[in-house]
Structure 1
């Protein structure tokens, strides 16, 4: 495959954009050396790079494009709204329609406010919880990878430079699945909110979410579910709709706009009204964004919600993922690498692990595996499906994975993946030094 134009574009990107991308997870360092395609366009589950190479894409837009690129219903809704104007000095009637549509789809919430990014709304949830409780600490699940680009979270990552210690000390962590640890943490009486993804790779332990709900209620702590990934992938009503546990606040984004920038903070009316105009108490600066309710983004969100409900998209994502997971596991077993190429996660949100001969996660073997996928015309940091994939696309992906597994077996037998890496290994997203 020829990557000449992509390499040139990557160099230009690094000259103009710190890191060469606007999201660290899309960085050139996440791909094998010299094989970081710069995308020209996409349609459905397929994308093309500037060199003309075509790929089946997984994890599209960091899980945001769940219906596939340029989905007709979404594009039509956005195009129609653009001709009517996108931002006014007063709210558009579309804000009423979009809020009603969202709350009908996520009936566990009573009010909603829209913004652009996931970080906007998770930080707003934290601020609201602190204002409502008068407490300083944020407790987040330390076993989960990402909540915000704001200081309260980034302080806990491997890239905390620039964040004062006073801010760092206001965030504490808890392990997923351990109710006793949360109980001890909340008993100190300083925690304003508990924030976590309701589930990641597996379903919650029996009674865990119910236990969190009871503990937060008992201690007056605001329970926040981050539904950026689980929202619309676990069910049309998110993880809270699937598991039947209602948080005080929840945050949505990613799949909500199918690639258009829109996020949502939703939750209990009494909490949300603290950021409104109808309450006589001291007001809370909740969210006040110039572009948070751009009409074309809200039109996209409504088209997405309509499509999910009308076409049963969450069920389709699970069915496609199940087919893919079964196929990958079968070819990995056939190649003798089932203990090293490992598919994990909910069927609608699959990731893969690449393990060395000792069974430890390996960036070197990940590099080898990604290189073989890209060479076969499959790109993605995960196996997260979009509903635009067909059964034939899944079958083709499995064929490419089978060839990659054969190479993986060779590298394991040689006890050295270096000859198949093509250069430096891919790197973790969060790291202190380059």
Structure 2
């Protein structure tokens, strides 16, 4: 087999990865530590198990090299093993990573973060996004004395905790009473949101949403949401796990100029190292502190939340973004990739079926069938062809480590995949090209 994927053949196999996936499932529920990384998200027997990565490339244990998109579920935005980040981490490793009292690195990291995101007044670090979003919800409930949480129904994920997971098809184990406390509002619809807040007058503690995703906020929407939250006395929370750094160094709030009460950051913040942040207004954040006379709020208290090397990674990431103009580079790379993919799809007659969406720094793609409907079968066909061509792309989310040759190769592979896609559309049946079961959605009721 050609380990550089210069040719795409039906014989593309991953025997070592297949055996490793069997070992993973035998010992780890789901075969991975994140459901979105599960082998059910990939064509049958074509889920690579990774050996290592550098820059925009990863290698699987079968020896194949891939151009990788969506790196680390959008967390590795500078590319794997980025020199500035690794150097910062190494400096701390020899100095110890966790102590019985705060390290000076904690205040330095807080100062750096608040200088980068000046719309916030205080910050507290943790290890994952769910810690931060759940802490924000708890803080909102404590501050308002209200029980209900209003989530944006059009955004796919907020937390592994019950207040959110209970609203998904994977709600097993979540009490119905908990589910009843979470209500939903549609993105971009201020009238519907006001109706919800009126229906549950004085019951909604917070509105939580991603300020933007694959669509830009309608003009005046975020400003209107800010006004609604103020008028109804609830806390406005921006989940900036994805928009943080990719939209601007200060997140979507910095780009659009609308300041939430609380916001949560993660993913790109550590370039693969485990660090997240809850940030916001001082009067709210202080409720989780010691300098007030009210009831104490158990905000965030994590043993590993302030590991020095992860905080050093976060500081290096922020410095790199600012000094090297990373956000602008991500947008430029994404624009070139999107244009190339759209041209390739149109050239093969599938421009209405392989659809690239989203902000240039955060591109996703839809695979539509002959009737223009989203199709897991056609997604499977498309992913198989990308993998065989050396492109690992559950999305088209770029990292700054990509270069012109990577984009050019990706577009060439997409064009080859589109030629097969056209054949399947003409046959009105993609099944001959699947070689197994279709890929599955992450959130589903049955395994």
TM superposition score category, shorter chain reference = over 0.9
Residue matched to 2:97: 86
Alpha-carbon displacement from aligned partner over 1:201-259 (angstroms, at most 9, x marks no partner) = 12100110000000101111000000000000000100000000000000000000000
Greater mean deviation of Cα atoms: 177-186 or 286-295: 177-186
SS at match of 2:328: helix
User: 2:13–2:46: 8 Å Cα contact kept in structure 1?
Assistant: no
Say whether 1:15 aligns with 2:30: no
Say whether 1:137 aligns with 2:151: no
Which structure 2 residues correspond to residues 217-232 of structure 1 after superposition, within 5 A? 217-232=230-245
Say whether 1:257 aligns with 2:270: yes
> Structure 2: which 5+ runs fail to align?
1-11
Runs ≥4 in structure 1, deviation > 6 angstroms? none
Residue matched to 2:41: 30
Report the Cα distance in structure 2 between the residues aligned to 1:312 and 1:223, rounded to whole angstroms: 29
Residue matched to 2:314: 301
TM-score, length-normalised on structure 1? 1.00
SS at match of 1:290: coil
Which structure 2 residues correspond to residues 87-106 of structure 1 after superposition, within 5 A? 87-106=98-117
Say whether 1:165 aligns with 2:176: yes
Report the Cα distance in structure 2 between the residues aligned to 1:40 and 1:2, rounded to whole angstroms: 16
SS at match of 2:95: coil
Alpha-carbon displacement from aligned partner over 1:246-290 (angstroms, at most 9, x marks no partner) = 000000000000000000000000000000011111111100010
Count of aligned pairs: 434
Which structure 2 residues correspond to residues 236-385 of structure 1 after superposition, within 5 A? 236-385=249-398
Alpha-carbon displacement from aligned partner over 1:353-407 (angstroms, at most 9, x marks no partner) = 0000000000000000000000000002100000000011001100000000000
Report the Cα distance in structure 2 between the residues aligned to 1:46 and 1:322, rounded to whole angstroms: 20
Say whether 1:422 aligns with 2:435: yes
Residue matched to 2:424: 411
1:422 Cα deviation after fit: 1.3
Alpha-carbon displacement from aligned partner over 1:291-340 (angstroms, at most 9, x marks no partner) = 00000000000000000000010000000000000000001000000000
Report the Cα distance in structure 2 between the residues aligned to 1:35 and 1:282, rounded to whole angstroms: 53
1:2 Cα deviation after fit: 3.6
> Structure 1: which 5+ runs fail to align?
none
SS at match of 1:56: strand
Report the Cα distance in structure 2 between the residues aligned to 1:400 and 1:410, rounded to whole angstroms: 16
Which structure 2 residues correspond to residues 171-186 of structure 1 after superposition, within 5 A? 171-186=182-197
Report the Cα distance in structure 1 between the residues aligned to 2:106 and 2:233, rounded to whole angstroms: 32
Residue matched to 1:199: 212
Aligned pair partner of 1:74 in 64, 67, 85: 85
SS at match of 2:330: helix
State the Cα RMSD in Å: 0.5
Aligned pair partner of 1:111 in 115, 122, 147: 122
Alpha-carbon displacement from aligned partner over 1:122-152 (angstroms, at most 9, x marks no partner) = 0000000000000000000001100000000
1:181 Cα deviation after fit: 1.0
TM-score, length-normalised on structure 2? 0.97
Report the Cα distance in structure 1 between the residues aligned to 2:348 and 2:15, rounded to whole angstroms: 33
